Structure 1
């Protein structure tokens, strides 16, 4: 399923997760950050995720296109946004399931505050993130600014579908979002 709203690469975050650092008075990045580099693999040891990345773009509807459903072990990142580890909010999306089976983010809701996940990057570095919170939002009341808004800290959002499947619209009613920061 598609993400509910357009990621806003330059929008300020509102109602930010508790671990979000306030912007520096001089506009510089806050905390640890890495230079821009394309993500290669997502590793989430707690839920046995080891998945390659694909680029995602904003579709004609103004929503982030999901990864292709033909590969159940594939995650995508908003390629025009922050790369994982770079200052800002990196958006990583994956399917919870497909018509035929569970998918890469089927167990994403098992993550809890303090859990770690890692992104292997094309420059040979590994960006490690600590989970701040795991929250579910109704798609028709999705907090786009909070989820997609840029931050002065290197953060990541893991996003998948959740809730009930609505057969009429062929989509789930909710989104599950994992908020995390670079450690």
Structure 2
């Protein structure tokens, strides 16, 4: 995967005026089974360089928080919830997604627990995400006064991945699965 520069690849939806200091929560989606991995282990618990993927994500988010860009972390758990909760420990608050009906449903399950004005949503199986990328994303979101900001990448071969659709101004028009692209 070849990532392009964040400022060249951020997709935004413009909005109206914003207050200068808004609170932000990170919502980590970690309920998936990882069936394509052919394992009964929760997807986020598979190790990369000796550490579960979700731990890499939480490490990055903790650094983002120390830089003042994040107030707290929530993790949506489902498949293998006890194992994931144990790994998360005191680093975040876990929310159970009893019925797993997809990504949007996971966000809906977490919504009642969110009081912050801004929500940073990411998956627990993104071990290569860096604090620097997340901080740039947060800063871009605020500087553009965007309603939504989506981080993406440009791949030479996007087979197997969904697509971010943009309008003629470069703003977010939609996100579709590979089968719909």
Give the TM-score, by structure 2 length.
Answer: 0.28
- Report 1 or 2 for greater relative contact order, CA contacts < 8 Å, sequence distance ≥ 6: 2
Larger gyration radius, structure 1 or structure 2: 2
> TM-score, normalised to structure 1's length?
0.28
User: 1 or 2, which has the higher strand percentage?
Assistant: 1
